[in-house]
Structure 1
Amino acid sequence: MEALDGAIYLSRIKAGLYFGSTVLVKTLAGLLVIKVLAWKLGPEGFGLLGQLMTLVAIVGMLAGGGISNGLIKLLAKAPVTDAEGRVWYATAFTLSALISGAVALLLVALSSTLSSYFLPGVGALLFSVLAVSQVVIAYGNLPLAEASSRGDSRIFSLITVSGTLAGAGLVIAAVYYAGFEGATYAVVLMPAMAGLCALIYVAARRRVLLNACRWSFEPRRMKVLLSFSMVTLIGALSVPAAQLYMRDVMGATLGWEQVGLWQGVIKLSDVYMQFMGVVLINFMLPRLAAAANKQQVFKEWTGSVSALVAVLLTGFAVFYVLRNFFITLVFSSDFLPMTQLLAPQMAGDVLRTIAASISYLFMARGAVRVSFVFELMQGVVLVCAFSALFDSHGAMAPVYAHLFTYLSLSIVMAFGLLIWMKRKPS
């Protein structure tokens, strides 16, 4: 028993090191990309590019139907080496092909309209490139989900780090040699780099997944995967759509330079919240799904969340003390006014992590509807709070709304967890 506990402990240390290295690379690469974009484009250009970044984030999350979380949960119990797991993987492949193909056609058909709304000076070709990019993301998500389901943090880390470095290099080269227009194309292609690396890995080292890539149209299985897809769909649209609305209001009333300052805070948040997402989806979710009873579930959850919050608070404390130095380093001195936005944004992100971790707990245990409602309410509460606060607080309204949203949702989700712990049988 002691040897088994030691092996489990060692495996978790290794997983932590791999995830830690992945997060470090993604963080440094993300900060470098932000630095180059802010330096070359300034607050106004950075604010305009933020609209495109939001659209790319939405499309990337929807790529292939957003079924990765469901596939991780299902393969954690039925690996792809078993017949049951192969059928689940084939069903996921079928859905990814159909949905990413439909999204690609829609993006191409609407490319002119999207171009005139987001970036009139760039052209419609940009959104056709986005159509191809999301297809690569969709197929690349499948082997990444399979690696996460069996706890292969080394492969997950290798693919993610390779894609991150390739994407960052692409953006930096594009903005240097082709300015704002080059940056738009690089931002569109950057998320596909990890997918491309995943596909190369499958072809070279994991051909069992290629054998599982076949058509499978079982309505029952599709329905299960699509239930997770609905959560991802709402998650992809809820907050980003709210932010698009908030940017439009701020841009029209306060100017795009002020939007650029808020966008800088959002991009910093995105960098470290990627770490939260990696741990929640690829480390915590499969373990919560595989846990035998609610006591084990709660133990896994409390251990993971305690570590995450401790890391966040430590990082925030260091960053806030040295905020002027870091903002000048990451952005430029033009972005120093954003310091007043940091404290409420960071406090909201801590609460967001707690609330999201409870949502993933419910998802792992099959209560997908709870996660669906949580994702939906993020955007709804954010827009309502921003609308209520904007007239009185102006440029501070988006970060105050962010803090209020996740304070409210973390309380509600914690209350829901307490009810689940008392009522759900072991």
Structure 2
Amino acid sequence: MLKRRFYFVLFCMEALNGATDLSRIKAGLYFGSTVLVKTLAGLLVIKVLAWKLGPEGFGLLGQLMTLVAIVGMLAGGGITNGLIKVLAKAPLGGAEGKVWYASAFTLSALVSGAVAVLLFALSSTLSSYFLPGVGALLFTVLAVSQVVIAYGNLPLAEASSRGDSRTFSLITVAGTLVGAGLVIMAVWYRGFIGATYAVVLMPAMVGLCAVFYAVVSRRVLLQACRWSFERGRMKLLMSFSMVTLIGALSVPLAQLYMRDALGASQGWEQVGQWQGVIKLSDVYMQFMGVVLINFVLPRIAAAADKRQVFKEWLGSVSALVVVLLSGFAVFYFLRNFLIILVFSSDFLPMTQLLVPQMAGDVLRTIAASISYLFMARGIVRVSFVFELLQGVVLVCAFSMLFDNTGVMAPVYAHLFTYLSLTIVMAFGLLIWMKRKPS
């Protein structure tokens, strides 16, 4: 029933955007299947981690999860969105597309290599700060993992740029299932230590599947992997990279600060309750990210004028908000049952955190969709400012609210942040729409 309902919503999204051909309906079905698998796998991983580690262990693991998320987003320079945009207009089949892909490969190789060296050098320091009892080897494994992620992002971006949702779906689903299985086995047999290594390796499984696909089924990608240092192309890709860099650091660093403050004042069990809410949010916000990056962004990038851009954006964001609100209504009605099902009865206190978190996530979706609109049209500076403001406003709001609201401060700060940013981004969109084309 859930799967049929999800397919119907994606079909409605297509209808809102004026899509009538069968290929676009198939794309919606593939994205629906992908997100369904990722959601179920994510919930299963959360369940096993929460069950085996408890709120305190889950809270401690949250710090490592944040670092892994930062490193994963930085892998290869974070040029996925930029590569999708340029290849949507200059496919890999042409000479122009091959040069763009080569430039992306060069930038990915340089950045992932630099990050790997940095992680190697700082492995002992990172181990002492994040998980003193685990050891430096964990962060050496993370260095290798992000290299795999970097190279795997290139085939996935190329598939998205040409609308090959089937390939994107198969690679993502395969990697997700392998990664989820790895985490479950590791925490089951090796407890907390096993969980740390599995969390580090899990994101690399999708990258590994993508590299395997390129080697076996799409050799043209390997042929395009050569060194290319054309200044103009590198500069454009790096502009997208800077947006990803700020996005990778802004909110996660803010959450690191908030966890430390909350843990020192309220205890790590309370951090675990908030971490549970964050992980639930991450699961369904993955759906938002998949649709915005691989479905909405290429279509807005290819739109002919502002009117078509606005039509594509409005139809997509309307459907996304409907999906979110419907899902939140069901979840909130069944919240006690679902929290025990996904986590355990120890996590029931997190129910008080749900409403402000969910409201903030709806607003976050709207604000982020406007940011992707500007990115797709090449106005990267707006997306850069948006990513930066997320972390800045979040920390400021948390600091102001913490003394009076205690454990509720993180979710209230989350709601305030995205209410503010939605207003700002909507105002920016209105100004852009009224401005005459240059």
Fold in common (TM above 0.5) = yes
- Which of residues 55, 64, 73 is equivalent to 1:43? 55
2: distance between equivalents of 1:265 and 1:6? 36
1: distance between equivalents of 2:19 and 2:383? 33
> Shift of residue 344 of structure 1?
0.2
Matches within 5 A, 1:2-401: 8-401=20-413
> Shift of residue 74 of structure 1?
0.2
2: distance between equivalents of 1:191 and 1:6? 35
Q: Secondary structure at the match of 2:21?
A: helix
Q: Secondary structure at the match of 1:220?
A: helix
1: distance between equivalents of 2:29 and 2:252? 31
**1:77-122 CA distances to partner (integer Å, 9 max, x unpaired)?**
0000100000000000000001000000000000000000000000
> Shift of residue 145 of structure 1?
0.3
2: distance between equivalents of 1:407 and 1:249? 23
2: distance between equivalents of 1:380 and 1:9? 43
1: distance between equivalents of 2:410 and 2:27? 36
Provide closer, same or farther for how the CA distance between residues 87 and 340 of structure 1 changes in structure 2, counting only shifts above 3 A.
same
> Shift of residue 13 of structure 1?
1.3
AA aligned opposite 1:319: F
Provide closer, same or farther for how the CA distance between residues 8 and 75 of structure 1 changes in structure 2, counting only shifts above 3 A.
farther
> Shift of residue 11 of structure 1?
2.1
2: distance between equivalents of 1:225 and 1:130? 25
> Shift of residue 424 of structure 1?
3.8
How large is the RMSD of aligned CA atoms in angstroms?
A: 1.0
> Shift of residue 7 of structure 1?
7.8
1: distance between equivalents of 2:114 and 2:392? 27
**1:252-305 CA distances to partner (integer Å, 9 max, x unpaired)?**
010000000000000000000000000000000000101111111001000100
Paired position in structure 1 for 2:8: none
AA aligned opposite 2:398: F
AA aligned opposite 2:303: A
Instruction: Please report the TM-score for the alignment, with normalisation by the length of structure 2.
Output: 0.95
Q: Percent identity?
A: 86
AA aligned opposite 2:90: A
Q: Secondary structure at the match of 2:397?
A: helix
Q: Secondary structure at the match of 1:214?
A: coil
AA aligned opposite 1:186: A
**Post-superposition, which runs of at least 4 consecutive aligned residues in structure 1 deviate over 6 A?**
none
Count of equivalent residues: 422
Of 7-16 and 167-176, more deviation after overlay is shown by 7-16
> Shift of residue 8 of structure 1?
4.3
Provide closer, same or farther for how the CA distance between residues 6 and 353 of structure 1 changes in structure 2, counting only shifts above 3 A.
closer
> Shift of residue 6 of structure 1?
9.4
2: distance between equivalents of 1:189 and 1:220? 35
AA aligned opposite 1:409: L
1: distance between equivalents of 2:261 and 2:18? 55
2: distance between equivalents of 1:287 and 1:301? 9
AA aligned opposite 2:407: A
Q: Secondary structure at the match of 2:228?
A: coil
Instruction: Please report the TM-score for the alignment, with normalisation by the length of structure 1.
Output: 0.98
> Shift of residue 9 of structure 1?
3.4
Q: Secondary structure at the match of 1:86?
A: helix
2: distance between equivalents of 1:424 and 1:295? 12
1: distance between equivalents of 2:256 and 2:334? 30
AA aligned opposite 1:213: C
> Shift of residue 220 of structure 1?
1.1
2: distance between equivalents of 1:411 and 1:18? 33
